[in-house]
Structure 1
Amino acid sequence: MPKHIIRHCQATAGLAVELAEKIAANGIEVNVDFVHRACLLHDIMRVCDFKKPLEHIFDSPADAEDLQKWRELSERYKGIRHEQAGYEFLKDKYPEIALAIKKHAYNALLEKENCPQTIEEKLVYYADKRAMHDKIVPLAERLEEGHRRNEQKNCQNKLNVQYVDSLIFELEKELFQLAAER
């Protein structure tokens, strides 16, 4: 994975694990190790979404071998979003992690099949929505940034971002209630 994506995955994992540990401390069953692993891998196929040539998107130089691997993966999963590509890439060896990765797409809350169901899946989804690059920011700030970046795509898909955002804020409330000290 490119270094900036690794940093994003690490930030995502930090928040998700913190919440998972608080939830577990309240006596609620949650697999903290699973949350950590799934977050570290959630953008494993992010290179599939890049539109620019790979050489021009990184904040630090990538070596020729990495660039070639990323090009091959991008070609292999061409036309497939990174969430689905990550699922396809991992499903045979790590089916549960693959499923959590598949369910972290922004619009997954609208889709019965892809909506996060378990606490672990919800933590992966939510923490990703709070991680702006490698920083954890307030949910509203992160969603606004994502909307600016994806405005054209959201319009093309006729996605009701206000409704999706409201579902994400509901999820935040649910997770914070589970994590609250008792």
Structure 2
Amino acid sequence: MRIPSRNHCYRLMREMGMLEHIAAHSLMVCMVSLKLAEGIIGRGVPLSRALIRAGAILHDITKTRSFKTGEHHGDTGGVLLEELGFPEVGDIIRQHVRLEGVSSPDIITEAEIVHYADKRVLHDHVVGLDERMRYIIGRYARTEEHVRILTGIWNQTRTLEEKIFHHQAFGPEELASRISREEFAAEREILMEIFHGE
């Protein structure tokens, strides 16, 4: 399995012209994903940190472009990473908006972790599922059908939350306090150097 390094991911974000606020969101999704993975791996569940990192950093890789094209950025981001030779990363990106289904209670996948983390991050802050859902529906739901689809995704995400936090030493309401804003700021500085350097 080929997985792009952190800096390779950052360069891809720059090459795709990702807006800085989307990059900051992606970075926070990565930090949340890795924090959740830490607890799960500590309980003996085999997960790839490198795959989670790449999938989380790149989950919105085509989102900036989608503002002009109207494309479904989960689908096109997945295709892009597959074409670049990273099909496992592409699979995570493809499922970050809508999972193919929550796996059995005994299995947690990298795609589920990134999907859940994305649903907990509003801009670059960790929030509860209800707050994030209100934002998503307010921003993206144009019809009653959109509301129905998004509500279904959120119901699935609540089930996923129970499964993920079964493996944590803390509850969902404590997640924000477990993420270091200092580490986020330091990593964002590295990201911005790559964005504006070279």
TM-score category, normalised to shorter length: 0.7 to 0.9
Following TM superposition, by how much is the alpha carbon of 1:163 offset from its aligned partner in structure 2, in angstroms? Answer: 3.1
Aligned residue number for residue 91 of structure 1 = 82
CA RMSD, Structure 1 to Structure 2 (Å): 1.9
How many angstroms apart in 1 are the aligned matches of 2:135 and 2:70?
24
Aligned residue number for residue 132 of structure 1 = 122
Alignment partner of 1:176 is 2:176: no
Q: Deviations over 1:108-153 (max 9, x none)?
A: 24xxxx346552000110000111011111111111111111121x
When the two structures are superposed, what TM-score results if normalisation uses the length of structure 1? Answer: 0.74
Change (3 A) 1:180 1:27: same
Residues 66, 72 of structure 2: 8 Å contact kept? yes
Residues 10, 40 of structure 1: 8 Å contact kept? yes
Alignment partner of 1:28 is 2:19: no
Following TM superposition, by how much is the alpha carbon of 1:79 offset from its aligned partner in structure 2, in angstroms? Answer: 4.3
Alignment partner of 1:38 is 2:27: no
Q: Return 5+ residue gaps in structure 1 as ranges.
A: 52-77
Aligned residue number for residue 75 of structure 1 = none
Residues 104, 116 of structure 1: 8 Å contact kept? no
Percent identity of paired positions between Structure 1 and Structure 2: 28
Q: Return 5+ residue gaps in structure 2 as ranges.
A: 1-17, 171-198
How many angstroms apart in 2 are the aligned matches of 1:100 and 1:82?
12
When the two structures are superposed, what TM-score results if normalisation uses the length of structure 2? Answer: 0.68
